Structure 1
Amino acid sequence: MSLRLGYGTNGLTDLRLDDALGLLADLGYDGVGLTLDHMHLDPMAPELAARTRRVAGRLAELGLDVTVETGARYVLDPRRKHGPTLLDPDPEGRAARTGLLVTAVRVAADLGAHAVHCFSGVTPDGTDPATAWKRLEEAMGPVLDAADAADIPLAIEPEPGHLVGDLAGFHQLRHRLGDPDQLGLTLDIGHCQCLEAASPADCVRDAAPWLRHVQIEDMRRGVHEHLPFGDGEIDFPPVLEALAATGYQGLTVVELPRHSHAGPELARTSIEFLRGPGVRA
């Protein structure tokens, strides 16, 4: 089974969205990981529904599938990276993040996306674990309700340093929430190399029942830095073989958010690497 490859717009922030989508289609990508942010599809600006319809038309014209990603750095607060989160001490902050995710579900439904990506956030200083988990459970409730109503999977990403920071954290959240049907997993292959005890290929196999979105890049052990393919330590053929064997039907999205200055070239070299005979599943 051939993997369906995408590229994240958070690595193409120097391009207009129409130009980024055209580039990816021309390069042969199957889809795009669309981060809702001010430079592309701004979830906070007026006439979101109309702008979303236009993007949906462009995606259809180009034959691109889409995942909606919500990792924009300053979309809610211009002074706090990724803030506020679902763990924010301020209830209004948590509500703002919940509201953004509910909006993302609505956008995903209008785009025909196959999932909405999200993350827990870092536990704030002075917050005990029990309180952090309680906040996360409560904040996720309306998002899961919206995802269920729209029939859009919600894919939470274990992020190094976050409350949900690894696969064990994902399973803890899943169990605490009662294993809801709409809650799935965003598996970042680099994060597996960075901090999981198992190999990235074994992580894929272990996570297979819950895979709803996959991000991919190179990375080194113990260093959370997204790297172009070949600059890290990951042995990719076993990873791609494991992904193909799961039957996962969503996008596998290249995630290079700090390389936008070289985005068009890295989009080209990334698909050549992943489709190349040496690593192709």
Structure 2
Amino acid sequence: MPASHRYDGDVRALGGADRAAALDALVGDLCSPDPRVRDDGAYFTAARWIPVLEQAERRELGDRVVAYFAHTAVQARAFAPLVLARITEAGGWREEWWRPFAQWYPAERDLRGYDVDLGWLHAVAHGADLLAALARQPAQDPVRLANLAVDRLLAPTEHLFDAQEDDRLAYALAKILSHPDLDPEESTAWLGPVEKAFRTGEPGPVPPWASNTMRTLRMLYILTDRGLRTRNTDEPLHTVTHRESVLDALAGTLAVVAPYSG
């Protein structure tokens, strides 16, 4: 039975001990192995409540969720960045959360999108969602965000993206590359380690990390060429800050592994 009834309704109608208890139950359920409790209950409630919480409550929620990056259960680790993304969108990001996230994201080894018992895990996609949310914050360094996305792509793995993780990470990179403070060199320098890694390829089966990276860059090329919008909105399409430079750099990098391309 889902436990969401413990924090169902409008948080603004709660006060004192009841409000604190509801938030405590929500945090606990964010690491539940039952997807009905974690995803359908705790996460969707968190997404609804975060915009109306007090700033101190958002800070406490974020502090507690950040601790989940070191949790032994994959569902706890994987849902931490998703909640932090919603906090960031509400204006509650704290710089001290960066290091735990940046240490966890490329190091996570359980990259399953969906598990028949645990439900959606999606560590790569959820981490990408946090990167995309951070990319919309003017004070964030887009170079740092892009480099972390590359670290995730190039990390050794035996998992082949199978639940559109490449699309989500490409979208995050497109949002990062839309930052107005980027210059042309910064918009493309992050591809240097990718090209270097591609050049280490040898005859034989394509390693999962390489396939994941190729597909992510191909989707990024489409978004850069055709434009993108903020997810789940009707805002007009926009493109990255230095479109032509990024398109040329992506084409050149992909040509390393697709020498038949133009």
**TM-score computed with the length of structure 2 as normaliser:** 0.36
**TM-score computed with the length of structure 1 as normaliser:** 0.35
Structure with the greater alpha carbon radius of gyration: 2
Kindly indicate which of the two structures has a greater share of residues assigned to helix.
Answer: 2
Higher relative contact order (CA 8 A, sep 6+): 1
Kindly indicate which of the two structures has a greater share of residues assigned to strand.
Answer: 1
